[in-house]
Amino acid sequence: MWRFAKRLKNDGIEFLSNQGMAVVVDGFLDGQFSQLQLLQDESNPDFVLEVVSLFFEDSERLLNDLTIALDQQNVEFKKIDAHVHQLKGSSSSIGAQRVKNVCIAFRNLCDEQNAEGCLRCLQQVKQEYLLVKTKLEALLRLEQQIVAAGGAIPMLNEFC
């Protein structure tokens, strides 16, 4: 068991560093995520996990609200824009760069009152959200395993 833990600690940190680099290089996360990591310390060891979990909850609620709003006969673009604005803000706060970028385009389509374009953007933002969620869940799971094995987590700010 000790041997496995030591290997997980060493190999896991290298793997996490490589995965973290891939998440940053692929544009899923920006420097804001590393700022979140810097706020985590011994007094609040689950800070990043808690913030990311809130992001997941808020995003799923907002995406559901957007789906319902865009399915209406009379589309209320101001309401849709408000939901997209919230999603853009929460995406920015954790560094979900690609989600944020789609939200910017989405808001422009709201300004133009382009329902068809908004529907396309909704599908794109859902896809980007699922991608970043998958990446973040994998990183957080691996971080937990490394900490459980006695290792320390490398900061993604080394890559940002």
Q: Which tens digits make up the pLDDT trace of 59-108?
A: 999 999 999 999 999 999 999 999 999 999 999 999 999 999 999 999 99
* Calculated CA dihedral for residues 80, 53, 92, 144, nearest 10 degrees: -160
CATH number assigned to the domain comprising residue 111: 1.20.120.160
Sign of the alpha-carbon dihedral angle for 111, 115, 117, 122: positive
Query: Residue 102 CA to chain centroid, in angstroms?
Result: 13
**Are 55 and 90 within 8 A, CB to CB?**
yes
pLDDT digits (tens, 9 = 90+) for 26-59: 788 898 998 998 898 888 888 999 999 999 999 9
Count of structural domains, the chain = 1
Full domain range(s) for residue 88: 2-158
Q: pLDDT class for 11, splitting at 50, 70, 90?
A: very low
Task: Give the per-residue pLDDT at 9.
Answer: 42
With a CB cutoff of 8 Å and minimum separation 6, the contacts of 137 are none
Task: Give the per-residue pLDDT at 44.
Answer: 86
| Tally of CB atoms within 10 A around 91 | 26
| 106, burial (CB in 10 Å: exposed 0-12, middle 13-18, buried 19+) | buried
Task: Give the per-residue pLDDT at 155.
Answer: 63
- Distance linking the first and last C-alpha atoms of the chain: 35
Query: Looking at the predicted structure, is the pLDDT value of residue 5 above 80?
Result: no
Give the residue from 123, 132, 120, 124 showing the smallest Cα distance to 56: 132
| 58, burial (CB in 10 Å: exposed 0-12, middle 13-18, buried 19+) | middle
Query: Looking at the predicted structure, is the pLDDT value of residue 8 above 50?
Result: no
Residue length of the chain: 160
* Higher pLDDT, residue 61 or 148: 61
**Are 96 and 29 within 8 A, CB to CB?**
yes
pLDDT digits (tens, 9 = 90+) for 114-133: 999 999 999 999 999 999 99
